[in-house]
Structure 1
């Protein structure tokens, strides 16, 4: 009997247009390689589908496929994308930020002007809204405007409004906004005249609104279009297009940031009651005490944000750079935090048995924090070392009873570990590193922990037992537990052997073992590296940057290719689909 090969699952996301908020959990659709799939958008109360990014139908392949369905909120009956439509304004017409009368903007459309229209929205109350190419909305009123398809005939007027025959022929002409963009490589600084100090980014000139960037950011402009109405439009890499009035070009490249080098980071050390000295013994890190448990080596989290160690951004933090220079990360939303966090963990004693929430629960109960899915690569383990990974309860009732009765022997599940082991720990997994384990952790950027069992040990500094979070833990723990063990694959690329440890929604983690020289091509918005053994160098544009044990760096989006050289092992990670 011939076994069918499984294709890589298809991920279906359901999000709110404009905010990118998840409206429903992501769906994972599985099937055999080569078989077809057909997805159907969910019905969401008080929402209607706005548009879809990705293919709702296709075949399972050996590559990850993602589909995102965007929804519009409100009393919406229908949304329709429009091509080559225009609004002929006959009298002063108010504009709105959203299809909502409460969002009127201070700018109105003047009489005898023509505006491109890209979207039509009908409400359940019989109102018709039209979105202009610059993202503003107008409410249809036949006394104020005509909405027509151009440039040809009056019989294409959508509103049955008779066109004034005395108007100039020029006013009936409608330009097609499909001009050929010209390549550009110039830096500029975003400016804005609105009170929010934000600059709108569009899918194309006069296209749909994508997101907002903060004024004051320095950006790399990669294309320019000069439209027939003498307006300039600039592309910011893959982020989208901005109007020329929203950017000041630098006279010379020295004014902006021409970042074509790695971002090297300085670790932030944290003391823990379970910590020891291994971070100094193994990595020569300057630990603050003999109970140092964590080194946050790549972090934008406010509880331990990494400073940039050297280069043109030296002295700034990763969080600052993430927001101020979004083009370095292909970051389309500077309001969100840097999404990933990488740590060294020294479990001189058992960590508390704990569980982390997912995004939705963390946002609701922990001041908007991200959830925390994580992973461990075991760097070293003493003989007989174990971790706590999962639990044995079959039902929520059994789980709650075991916790209430402190029946840890029958609840907790232990797993022996050795150097080189890897564990994927999704949110909702009960877990803890055990005594004698040194690990590298790749996780979402979150510091939310619900402590379940702390071995009844007092904090030596306070003399008190640490707080437990049993109700939250009961709410978020996955029951029953089922270990997720991603299949590991290895690929030899010349002198580099790369092992895929996990490719998951929030992050991808790889182990790169190098003995010689390897040419690397960018394959993600940015790439995180940490040297866990040996030494070598990374070469960018002919510049050699030495790499020692425990060196961590980020290769930004502005670097398309680089070379690794030496005899060393690195843990490499990139953002997954939900972290981009």
Structure 2
């Protein structure tokens, strides 16, 4: 008696990671089935995270070659995240360090006159900016405790100063908000300041001032709104 044997296709490995630090946020899983059968990888809800994007073929047929799909997530509390290169915090007053953004102090501190390299910056829903150091710890940004700079502290001939305010440069330009479709961008009362409102992606705005800080980050002042990072402004 003949028996039909159904061959199995090679599985698809599915990984879930934090897009900002590559940490695993959920157990890996396998998508399995018969050779030639179709598959679809759906991002599963993960408490405390929101889905961002996928790398790899999320739809296809199971064949003779194994595939991988990586699903990238970001903490729900993150509004904006940016990787940094060649940036340093110059500390002028003691500040606690944290293992995670919006977490509890880890028992360590940065002290006055320290210079530390930072590799990531995050803006959170509660209006704070956080910087991640090269050793993976986080510090909340305070204009009274630190300054962000390109200076690594090794050049004694060119010092740095703590800026509690930067001198705006008047300008006039038409622009639009270039954020995430159907999402609202936070608007601040000053660069690195307090959130005073939100503005929808694609909204037309008039730029009346700009500020460039010591680390070459540019902020624009929108007439009748407030300040936003140049990362989310598209000039007309």
Considering fraction of residues, name the structure with more helix.
Answer: 1
Considering fraction of residues, name the structure with more strand.
Answer: 2
Q: Report the TM-score when normalising by structure 2.
A: 0.45
